[in-house]
Amino acid sequence: MRTVDKSVAGVGERQYHIGVAPGEVSTVALLPGDPFRVPLVAEFLTDVQEVAHQREHRTMVGTYKGRRITATSTGMGCPSTAIAAEELIRVGVTSLIRVGSSAAVQPGVRPGDLLVSEGTLRNDGTTAAYVHPGYPAVPDLPITMELERQAARIASREGVASLNGLNASDDAFYAEGPEWIERLRREGILNIEMESSALYVVARLRGVRAGMVCACSSNLVDGASLYSGTKDALQAGWAASIEAALETAVALEL
């Protein structure tokens, strides 16, 4: 009997879930959650090629200001994000920047505002399988500082706000009740999303870099849910967050 060691299985090969092989991607990848948002990243790029689209993972590669850029969707939640990150790292990606949607839990934050993560409260089950309960989920510092700089510049141009702070990663979207939301507000958490804790932990364990800039989708303490008609502002926020991530990739030569 020979037990499979998943830490080495598939290394150097076409990856089982994302369908990408070594040599088909760049060293930096932007990670939206939704596969239908990968083409939104591609709108900023030239010489775009679709590399793969399997399950929730869609990958396109193109060029931005002379730099080769990969965009791969993670799907929703930490389990699929961890898989995407692991497999992208196996085929040569060394910097991962999440560009997603996130709900604010501090008053005054508006849909379309930009939110840069400085660390994540790990309220997920995936990272518990990887590390000690007290292990921090933190992004790469230089990437985060550049994301903050670029997001502030772009937000000023677009007439929206750019905010930096701690976020939470939750597993259960519809289980986020008023008590939980209020607790996060009291503890100074800026926003909630569902992927960054896995992204940060996997990146740290595998020796690569990660960061996140999100567009605010709603404000759970100001009464603006995803059902409140915020789509236009969110769409503009997605574009601004993607531009901030791309400019960061160029500035840092990721």
Task: Write out the residue range of the structural domain in which residue 86 sits.
Answer: 28-251
In a domain, 192, yes or no: yes
In a domain, 138, yes or no: yes
165-172: average pLDDT: 98
Query: Which of these ranges, 8-12, 23-27, 109-113, 117-121, has the smallest mean pLDDT?
Result: 8-12
- Confidence at 241, pLDDT banded by 50, 70, 90: very high
DSSP state of 105: -
Residue 124, pLDDT score: 98
Q: What does the alpha-carbon distance between residue 116 and residue 53 come to, in Å, rounded to a whole number?
A: 28
Residue 1, pLDDT score: 85
HEC secondary structure over 38-100: HHHHHCCCEEEEEEEEECCEEEEEEEECCEEEEEECCCCCHHHHHHHHHHHHHCCCCEEEEEE
User: 146, 218 in Cβ contact below 8 A?
Assistant: no
In a domain, 163, yes or no: yes
89-114: average pLDDT: 97
In a domain, 69, yes or no: yes
Which CA distances in Å does 140 have to 75, 85, 98, 214? 22, 15, 12, 16
Report the sign of the C-alpha dihedral through residues 222, 120, 242, 202, in that order.
negative
> Would the pLDDT of 251 be above 80?
yes
- Confidence at 12, pLDDT banded by 50, 70, 90: confident
How many CB atoms neighbour CB 179 within 10 A?
A: 8
> Would the pLDDT of 74 be above 70?
yes
In a domain, 148, yes or no: yes
In a domain, 1, yes or no: no
237-244: average pLDDT: 97
In a domain, 4, yes or no: no
Which CA distances in Å does 17 have to 61, 71, 82, 95? 17, 15, 11, 19
234, with CB counted inside 10 A (0-12, 13-18, 19+), is: middle
Average pLDDT of the chain is 96
Residue 245, pLDDT score: 98
> Would the pLDDT of 227 be above 80?
no
CATH of the domain at 70: 3.40.50.1580
> Would the pLDDT of 229 be above 70?
no
Question: Considering its fold, how many domains does the chain have in total?
Answer: 1
User: Can you state the percent helix, strand and coil of the chain, rounding each to 5?
Assistant: 35, 30, 40
Q: What does the alpha-carbon distance between residue 173 and residue 101 come to, in Å, rounded to a whole number?
A: 13
How many CB atoms neighbour CB 175 within 10 A?
A: 8
Q: What does the alpha-carbon distance between residue 22 and residue 98 come to, in Å, rounded to a whole number?
A: 21
* CA-based R_g, the chain, Å: 17
- Confidence at 126, pLDDT banded by 50, 70, 90: very high
Residue 143, pLDDT score: 98
48-71: average pLDDT: 98
- Confidence at 163, pLDDT banded by 50, 70, 90: very high
170-186: average pLDDT: 97
In a domain, 10, yes or no: no
Q: What does the alpha-carbon distance between residue 171 and residue 201 come to, in Å, rounded to a whole number?
A: 15
Residue 231, pLDDT score: 82
Nearest by Cα to 117 from 245, 233, 220, 249: 245
